[in-house]
Amino acid sequence: MSDPTDRPEQDSQPETGALPVPFPTDWTRCLILVAHPDDPEYGMSAAVARWTAEGRSVVYVLASSGEAGIEGMDPEIAGPIREEEQRRSAAHVGVDTVEFLGFPDSRIVNNGELRDAIADSIRKHRPDIVVSLYSGPEFGPGMPNQSDHMEFGDAVGAAFDDLVAAVGVDSREGRPQMWFESDPRPSHYVDVTGFVDPAIAALAEHKEYMSVLDPQTPVREQAQTQVERMVAPVEGLADGNPVVGFTRKRP
Ligand SMILES: [Zn+2]
C-alpha cells in the first residue's frame, strides 16, 4: 500500500479508501522492470504510449525471455520468438530499448543474483521512476498472482532499497521513485484517452503466445478484450476516461 497521506480526503468513500490521484508528471526517464514478455501489455503499455508521446523516455528490462510460456514449444525456440514479439510490441508504444536478463521463466526466485541484476539495470539506466508489477498474492478473489511475478516484484523492491541505501543512488539530487502497476488498490492513475489503440496493437504482437493460449479467438480480438478490460473507466475518476492505475511503493 502507498502512504495514505498521498491521498486526498474523500469522505464519500471511507470503506475503500480515497480515489486515486493523477500520476506525477515531473519526471523524464522511466525504467520498467517485469518478469516476462507481455507483462507490460495488460494495461501499462497504454500509459507508456502516453508517456513516450509526451517526450519521456521509457526502457523495458525483462527478467526472462518467457521461454516456458508457449505450451508444446521447445524453450530454445520459444525464447527468441517471445523476445522478438516483445520488441515489436514495445515499438508500438515508443519504447526502443528492450533488454532481457536471462533468468529462467517460471522459476524466478528473489535471490542475490536477481537483485544484483536489477540493481545493475537501475544504475545503468538512471531512471527518475522505476515501475514494476504488483507482487501481492492475488489481484482479487479467485485471481491469484503468479509466483514469478511475486518473487520478481519483491526482488525489485529489495534491490531498490539496497541501491537507495548505497552511495551511487543516494548521492543523486533526486533519487528515483518506485511504482507498481496492476495493484488492485491503486493510489494514482494515468488517463490513457487516445492511447488504448497502440496498447491493443502492442499486446496483439504477442501472436505466437496468444494464439496457443486461445486458439479459437483471433489474437487481435483477444488483445482488444484484455486491454479494454484493464483500462476500464472508474466511476468518478478522470471524467469517465480510460485509466491505468499505479501504486507508489517508495517515495
Ligand atoms: Zn508474467
Residues near 141 by beta carbon (within 8 Å), at least 6 away in sequence:
none
40 C-alpha vs ligand 1 centroid, how far in Å? 9
Residues 139-178: tens digit of each pLDDT: 888 999 999 999 999 999 999 888 888 755 544 455 778 8
Residues 97-119: tens digit of each pLDDT: 999 999 999 999 999 999 999 99
239 C-alpha vs ligand 1 centroid, how far in Å? 31
Q: Which CATH class is domain 26-250?
A: alpha beta
132 C-alpha vs ligand 1 centroid, how far in Å? 11
Smallest CA-to-CA distance from 17 within 141, 142, 186 is with 186
Query: Which residues on neighbouring strands pair with residue 181, listed in sequence order?
Result: 133, 246
For the range 163-171, what are the long-range contacts, defined as Cβ-Cβ under 8 Å and sequence gap of 24 or more? 163/119, 163/122, 163/123, 164/250, 168/123, 169/122, 169/123
62 C-alpha vs ligand 1 centroid, how far in Å? 10
Residue type, 177: Q
199 C-alpha vs ligand 1 centroid, how far in Å? 17
Residues 195-204: tens digit of each pLDDT: 999 999 999 9
146 C-alpha vs ligand 1 centroid, how far in Å? 7
53 C-alpha vs ligand 1 centroid, how far in Å? 25
Question: Is the confidence at residue 15, as pLDDT, over 60?
Answer: no
CB 90, CB 34: distance < 8 Å: no
CB 220, CB 204: distance < 8 Å: yes
State how far the Cα of 158 lies from the Cα of 167, in Å rounded to an integer.
16
34 C-alpha vs ligand 1 centroid, how far in Å? 7
pLDDT-based confidence at residue 210 (cuts at 50, 70, 90): very high
229 C-alpha vs ligand 1 centroid, how far in Å? 17
Q: What is the pLDDT of residue 7?
A: 37
Q: What is the pLDDT of residue 105?
A: 97
77 C-alpha vs ligand 1 centroid, how far in Å? 19
32 C-alpha vs ligand 1 centroid, how far in Å? 13
Read off the pTM: 0.89
C-alpha cell at 159: 534491490
